[in-house]
Structure 1
Amino acid sequence: MRTATDTPDRTKPARVFFALWPDAGTARRLDDLAAHTHASCNGRRMRRDTFHLTLAFIGDIPRERVVDLITAGDRIPAAAFVLKMDRIATWRHNRIVWAGAREVPEALADLVARLNVVLVEAGFPVEQRKFAAHVTLLRNARADLASDEIDPPIDWQVGGFALVESDRREDGAHYKLLKVWTADSPLKD
């Protein structure tokens, strides 16, 4: 796995976030759902390799601060849990179609809360609005959905979380996993 120090251009800020990253089977199911939804909503489908659920968006930071984020992530236990993706909806204001869970598992809510605490302690700003667990499927959707139910639901077997760097390009964002914490990762004090 590449680390933050492998980045060739150390003068360019790093655009980073913490996220849940789906396994191949979950990504395939999300991609199938995006294809099905695209048929009725149009818009721009997200690439399968970009599906994720943002836990905490950090934004642009100096590259030397990435190590502070890794240290913060090292302080959080990565839990294994099932995220039942059973809802699909549209945010009309920005024309995004997303998949999510009607009920956020306690383990996910706890992960986000712990992450926010260590980020604040490390001097990073955190979102003040309520956490919205979602995976973006389409951007620039041109129609509303006929139903808000994912049937059958997607049972995402979450096994950890990641620190991700986003590289914006003409064909959309490309992501690099800077560090992954798994449910069996040892904690650092």
Structure 2
Amino acid sequence: MRLFLALTPPPELRERLGELADVAHARCGGRRMPDESLHLTLAFLGEVEEVKATELVEWAQCLTIEPGRWHIERWGSFRRPGIVWVGGSKPDPALERLQGRVWGDLESFGLGTRPASFIPHVTLLRHAVTLDLAGFAAIDLAWSYNQLELIESIIDERGAHYRSLAVSQG
């Protein structure tokens, strides 16, 4: 099973992020992420055996995270593979602590290695034709969070879609 842990936006924020994805898509081309797929990845685990996935479901359901508030106020991009995203303009200590705590727990499960850097962002587009973001409208969104999700990424003939396996306690 291909798994990751993420914060998922509440419906009204997800709708607003979808509007930003429309703006980015109109200008940059590429593949727009569906609204229901918009999230902030805390840990990408890749392929995980079903037995370990069951342990992760139990762990995630018992996990309580400290509520936080993340501010989204900038457009960004990653050259490869042509990703356009939105995120914060400066490091967010609360998100960094949460991501560190999650990776600490995952390492105790023997899963993966903590990445060298963490750039909190929401991917809006993949394979963008252009990454010229100059002149995009200013963003000022607040995301209040109090739970994370363990999500399975399923790839089939329709492409990638996500299925929530567990939600932490809020």
Q: Give the C-alpha shift of residue 108 in structure 1.
A: 1.1
Structure-1 residue corresponding to 2:168: 181
Work out the CA distance in 2 between the residues paired with 1:147 and 1:80. Answer: 33
Q: Give the C-alpha shift of residue 83 in structure 1.
A: 0.9
- Deviation >4 Å, runs of 4+: none
Partner-residue secondary structure (3-state), 2:21 = helix
Q: Tell me whether 1:46 sits opposite 2:36 in the alignment.
A: no
Structure-1 residue corresponding to 2:65: 78
Work out the CA distance in 2 between the residues paired with 1:136 and 1:26. Answer: 14
> Which amino acid is the alignment partner of residue 164 of structure 2?
L
TM-score, normalised to structure 1's length?
0.82
Work out the CA distance in 1 between the residues paired with 2:152 and 2:17. Answer: 21
Work out the CA distance in 2 between the residues paired with 1:62 and 1:125. Answer: 13
Structure-1 residue corresponding to 2:75: 88
Quote the sequence identity (%). 32
Structure-2 residue corresponding to 1:162: 149
Structure-1 residue corresponding to 2:114: 127
Work out the CA distance in 2 between the residues paired with 1:48 and 1:135. Answer: 11
Alignment gaps of 5+ in structure 1: 1-13, 184-189
Work out the CA distance in 1 between the residues paired with 2:75 and 2:50. Answer: 36
Q: Tell me whether 1:110 sits opposite 2:97 in the alignment.
A: yes
Aligned pair count? 170
Work out the CA distance in 2 between the residues paired with 1:178 and 1:104. Answer: 29
User: Higher Cα Rg: structure 1 or 2?
Assistant: 1
CA contact (8 A) 2:28 2:128 kept: yes
Structure-1 residue corresponding to 2:12: 25
Work out the CA distance in 2 between the residues paired with 1:77 and 1:182. Answer: 5
Structure-1 residue corresponding to 2:159: 172
CA contact (8 A) 1:72 1:118 kept: no
Work out the CA distance in 2 between the residues paired with 1:136 and 1:146. Answer: 14
CA contact (8 A) 1:167 1:173 kept: yes
Work out the CA distance in 1 between the residues paired with 2:135 and 2:88. Answer: 11
Alignment gaps of 5+ in structure 2: none
Work out the CA distance in 2 between the residues paired with 1:152 and 1:101. Answer: 10
Work out the CA distance in 1 between the residues paired with 2:6 and 2:133. Answer: 29
CA RMSD of aligned residues (A): 1.8
Work out the CA distance in 1 between the residues paired with 2:90 and 2:24. Answer: 22
Given the superposition, is the C-alpha separation of residues 106 and 134 from structure 1 closer, same or farther in structure 2, using an over 3 Å criterion?
A: same
Work out the CA distance in 2 between the residues paired with 1:106 and 1:69. Answer: 25
